[in-house]
Amino acid sequence: MRIRTLVISAVALVALAVPASASAVTLIGSGSVAAQPVLQALFSTYTKEVNHKVHFVYTANGGNAGVKDVQNGTSQFAGQARTPLPSDAGTTYIKMFLDGLCIDVNPKNKLKNITIQQTHDIYRGLLTNWSQLPGSGLATTIDPVGRDTNGGTYNFFLQAVLGNELPASNVNALTADGLVVNAVKTDPNAIGYDGLAWQGKGQKALKVNGVPCQADKISVEPLKYPLSRYLFLVLPGDGSGISPALSKFIDWARRDPLAGEVIAKAGGVPAFNKKAKK
Amino acid sequence: MDESYPSEYGPKWSDQRAGRLLGALVCAVVGLLLALIVTVFIKAWPSFAHNGLAWFGSGGSVEEQLNQIYLSGLSGADYVYTFHGWQLIWSTLLITGGAVLLALFSALFVSVFIVEFAPEWMRDVLQPVVRFLASVPSVIYGLLGVLVIVPFIGNHLVTESQKASVAGVISLSGYSLLAAVLILTVMIAPLMVSIFSDGLRSVRPGWLEGSLALGVNRWRTTWKIAVRTARPAIVAGTVLAVARAIGEAVMLAMVSGSIAFAPNPADGLIFIYEPSRPLAPTIVKNIDSLGSPPSNATLFAIAAVLLFSAAVFSLAGWVARRAMRKYGATA
């Protein structure tokens, strides 16, 4: 009797684990944390509005890990926030949408504009007091916060601002973009960097070299805002051997006006999407 | 014995299956553990082989070394392994040591109170509360630290002149030794309290009654008889707490400051506000560089050091408990 109960519950468990409909397709991806908010929004809109049978599983384990997953076949695609490196051999990068890295300070800080050079000097430990930046209205020690080496935000900042020099030892390296936002929110002396998707209450985005960190300034090429970048999907091989469901999704996300709206709402900047008819 | 079953076939399978199954499970667990240890040490070997004992020494910035190691693995030509982990080891010693000392004192007094002095109704409330606290996931403590303790230390305890004195070297923004030690203490103290109070409760009532009957007061009886007899339990609880503290990664990665830096007590009081990063969070922080073979070996080397120290502590605890057996109480 007990054995029968066991068998029945085991069968029930297996049945639960298998997707209900046999014709449904599940696309498995991993990678960039920075691209996650926008990708998730695209996934759920696609499943809801375009094709009910396509489902997505996305693990935000960092861009480099995502590329590795694609190389060894555990993921069908990866989100990536940096440009290709030699170690990415055997993969194809596809431009999906744009993202801007904003430099943020606490709202108590009166600073409006910062140059790339000043940002570089702060994160290299050369400028350490807010009085060295005219217009900040503060005379306190700067608390620079940044990301640790995981994920694309750090790498992009390293390339675009620090010229591939390591940040100084007084930069607090936090494990997630959300923690950077929190640090800038709670500390009046802090300065931090994070994606457009994170802009909101509690932190103030500075103009960089006079250009505000806004979606319309990070528009299609030439990229006017100094800290803007493409976010990529990484595909195995030359990108031709992927499943038809995935290639349909990529076309939709890159071209469709609805996808453009979703990208903009989630904090990214659509790069190629047609404008919606009004 | 079932008579229809000839005894020359040995004991019946149905009589043995539970024992055999459990035995197989135990063998599997032990095998897994061995495989784990062997894998970690094999993967870690290149890092130890290239550095020798200098691995544990100081010299240069760990951050830069980790970066060099990572980059050398991407180019694929000559792997760099140079790594001097003292800043990480010192941070681990400071944070773990500080938290275990603080927790040992507070847990000892709390458990003495719960077992010997608290009224019945309070004991009924405190015990489940302590058990619950001991099982709260560490990431919750990490969140509390990041949202409450760290901003408080950064905005209210650290002064501007202290910050200015170390500007450009490190930031005193609240991510600090103090925050790490305080939260780690809160994390491990309940574990100690629950084991200590089990030990105190198992002291033979006759010994305590004898002491009281001789006119020794209650506090002295508790201190000299109950606590002494419960020493094996105190050692056991401390060893468990040390193991948990050494291996704690997520919470410390969130609050300790995450810069490889060795806070120096010679700097004066300011050193408790200095950031640092212990061994375990270093693995978490560098997960993304696992793709580079020398980084892989270095991170596994850190893991091997953690594994080894955990083994040493549990061995030391076992030896200490054996030596204390003569005091009568078991744990």
What's the complex ipTM?
0.71
- The pairing of strands A91-105 and A269-270 is antiparallel
Q: Give the closest-approach CA distance of A176 to chain B in angstroms.
A: 9
Which residue has tokens 């200098």?
Answer: B54
Give residue B2's pLDDT band: very low, low, confident or very high (50, 70, 90): low
Q: Give the closest-approach CA distance of B253 to chain A in angstroms.
A: 7
- The pairing of strands A91-105 and A228-236 is antiparallel
Torsion over CA: A165, A168, A171, A174 (sign)? positive
Residues across chain B = 331
Single-letter residue type at B103: A
- Whether B5 has a pLDDT exceeding 70, the answer reads no
Q: Which residue of B has its CA nearest to A151?
A: B288
Question: Can you say how many angstroms the Cα of residue A12 is from the centroid of all Cα atoms in its chain?
Answer: 38
| H-helix or E-strand spanning residue A187 | none
- The pairing of strands A77-80 and A228-236 is antiparallel
pLDDT at A10: 63
pLDDT at A278: 45
- Return the half-sphere exposure (C-beta side, CA atoms, 13 A cut-off) of residue B307: 15
Q: Which two tokens stand for residue B223?
A: 């201190």
Domains (ranges, CATH) in chain B? Answer: 86-327 (1.10.3720.10)
Single-letter residue type at B98: G
Angle at B209 between CA B208 and CA B211, to 5 degrees: 65
Could you read off the pLDDT of B174-221 as tens digits, one per residue? 899 999 999 999 999 999 999 999 999 988 889 899 999 999 998 999
Q: Which of B243, B247, B313 is nearest to B279 (CA)?
A: B247
Of B61, B74, B288, the CB nearest to A149: B288
Judge: A172–B290 Cβ closer than 8 Å, yes or no.
no
Q: Which residue of A has its CA nearest to B282?
A: A148
Of B173, B253, B275, the CB nearest to A187: B173
Contact criterion met (CB below 8 Å) for A92 and A235: yes
Mean pLDDT in residue range B109-120: 92
Most confident region among A84-93, B21-30, B246-255 by mean pLDDT: B21-30
Q: Which residue of A has its CA nearest to B66?
A: A149
Q: Which residue of B has its CA nearest to A69?
A: B291
Q: Which of A253, A271, A263 is nearest to A36 (CA)?
A: A263
The contact set of A with B (CB < 8 A) is 62, 64-65, 68, 85-87, 125-126, 128-129, 140-145, 148-151, 166, 168-175, 179, 182-183, 186-190
B151 cis-preceded (ω within 30 degrees of 0): no
Judge: B146–A182 Cβ closer than 8 Å, yes or no.
yes
Judge: B291–A172 Cβ closer than 8 Å, yes or no.
no
Percentage of chain B with pLDDT > 90? Answer: 45
Count of A-B CB contacts under 8 Å: 108
Tens-binned pLDDT, residue by residue, of chain A (278 aa): 566 766 666 666 655 555 444 478 899 999 887 788 788 889 999 999 898 889 999 887 878 888 989 998 899 999 988 888 888 888 999 988 887 788 999 999 999 999 999 999 999 989 989 999 888 888 889 999 988 776 567 877 888 898 888 888 888 888 778 888 989 998 899 999 987 777 876 888 898 888 888 777 766 556 678 888 888 999 998 888 888 899 999 999 988 889 988 887 777 788 887 766 54
- Whether B31 has a pLDDT exceeding 60, the answer reads yes
From chain A, pick out residues whose CB is under 8 angstroms from the CB of B167.
Answer: 128-129, 141-142, 170
Per-residue HEC secondary structure of B264-311 comes to CHHHCHHHHHCCECCHHHHHHHCHHHHHCHHHHHHHHHHHHHHHHHHH
What distance in Å separates the CA atoms of residue B160 and residue A131, rounded to the nearest whole number? 13
Judge: B261–A169 Cβ closer than 8 Å, yes or no.
yes
- Whether B99 has a pLDDT exceeding 90, the answer reads yes
Report helix, strand or coil for A201.
Answer: coil
Judge: B155–A186 Cβ closer than 8 Å, yes or no.
yes
Q: Give the closest-approach CA distance of A153 to chain B in angstroms.
A: 13
Q: Which of B152, B150, B224, B236 is nearest to B197 (CA)?
A: B236
What distance in Å separates the CA atoms of residue B162 and residue A10, rounded to the nearest whole number? 62
Question: Can you say how many angstroms the Cα of residue A240 is from the centroid of all Cα atoms in its chain?
Answer: 25
From chain A, pick out residues whose CB is under 8 angstroms from the CB of B174.
Answer: 187
Which residue has tokens 């408790």?
Answer: B272
Pick the residue of A61, A148, A158, A166 with the most B CBs within 10 A to test the interface with B by mutation: A148
pLDDT at B331: 46
Contact criterion met (CB below 8 Å) for A61 and A233: no
Judge: A149–B286 Cβ closer than 8 Å, yes or no.
yes
Q: Quote the mean pLDDT of chain B.
A: 88
Q: Which of A244, A232, A237 is nearest to A27 (CA)?
A: A244
Q: In angstroms, what CA-CA distances link B56 with A91, A241, B83, B191, B249?
A: 39, 49, 9, 30, 20
